Amino acid sequence: MIAFVIGVFALAGLIKGTIGLGLPAVSMGLLTMVISPFQAASLLIIPSMVTNFWQLFAEGRVLSLIRRFWPLLVGIIIGSVWSIFPTLGHSEFHSEALLGGMLALYGLYGLCAKKMPNLSRHDRWLAPIIGYLGGALTVATGVVVIPVVPYLQSLHLKRDDLVQALGLAFTTSTLCLAFFLQQNPLADQPIDYTLSAIALIPALIGMGLGKKIRYRIPEQKFRKIFFVGLIALGLYMIAHQVGWI
């Protein structure tokens, strides 16, 4: 089990280091093929927390970002407390099927999104709605992607601001996920913080190697392969849960 976890997080870190995203999505997608979504999400806590904090605090200006995006953050917190979706560990079929759907949507978004429409003039009322859905889906799938990532990209932020805004949203959702898992333990699935800490090491090594790969192969080609792989993995998870395969 330890060897499998190390391999998964090394691969997920490699992908994140190469294209800047994908660590939670890849980790959850692969881990839930052999363990429950609740256990998989618990292993993400430390690797996600460390990498998200790194991403958030790398450039400074954290307080100004919080002042701008606090409605989004409040929405994430509320959504994680009062989710409209079946939550991790309490409806395994729905959690895994929903995660598969999220991965497939994420892959389709990555392949098809060229230029996002500018929604910045609507962010006052959109932010809490997007945040709520993001928080609700976080405690349902262990991954915050849809709709938070497309929404932030639609604001047409500068590159560094976008990276930090994503880090802020991911950090908030990871804290909410950790709190949810701690407050809703399953007797037969304890949270393994030791294994989660171990998973951080291959994730960081993978990220370092990914940054080197970024300069050796065309990024767009790698991104296309990655997103196609997410679609295939997501569809496989859905088909497996409904008994088609």
**Quick one: pLDDT at residue 239?**
84
pLDDT at 114 over 80: no
pLDDT at 115 over 80: no
Contact 52, 171 (CB under 8 A): yes
**Quick one: pLDDT at residue 187?**
62
- Going from N- to C-terminal start, the domains of the chain cover 2-241
Could you tell me which residues are beta bridge partners of residue 186?
189
Query: Dmax of the chain from CA atoms?
Result: 49
* Average model confidence (pLDDT) across the chain: 86
Q: What is the pLDDT of residues 173-210, one digit of tens each?
A: 999 999 999 888 776 777 888 999 999 999 999 988 98
Contact 206, 214 (CB under 8 A): no
**pTM of this prediction exceeds 0.75:** yes
N- to C-terminal Cα distance for the chain? 24
Cα 29 to Cα 26: distance, rounded to the nearest angstrom? 5
pLDDT at 231 over 70: yes
Closest CA to 197 of 45, 3, 17: 45
Q: Report DSSP state, residue 189.
A: B
Cα 192 to Cα 39: distance, rounded to the nearest angstrom? 8
Choose between 85 and 71: higher pLDDT: 71
Choose between 62 and 73: higher pLDDT: 73
Closest CA to 85 of 140, 40, 130, 36: 140
3 state DSSP class of 139: helix
Cβ contacts of 165 within 8 Å, gap of 6 or more: 65, 69, 152, 155, 157
**Quick one: pLDDT at residue 92?**
52
Contact 100, 241 (CB under 8 A): yes
Q: Determine the average pLDDT of the residues in 72-88.
A: 92
Cα 80 to Cα 131: distance, rounded to the nearest angstrom? 10
- Phi first, then psi: give them for residue 107, nearest 5 degrees: -65, -45
Specify the range with the lowest mean pLDDT, choosing from 68-72, 179-183, 234-238. Answer: 234-238
pLDDT at 151 over 70: yes
Q: What is the pLDDT of residues 25-62, one digit of tens each?
A: 889 889 988 888 889 999 999 999 998 888 788 767 88
Q: What is the pLDDT of residues 200-228, one digit of tens each?
A: 999 999 988 988 887 787 767 877 888 88
How does residue 91 score in pLDDT terms, banded at 50, 70 and 90? Answer: low
pLDDT at 101 over 80: yes
pLDDT at 245 over 70: no
pLDDT at 93 over 80: no
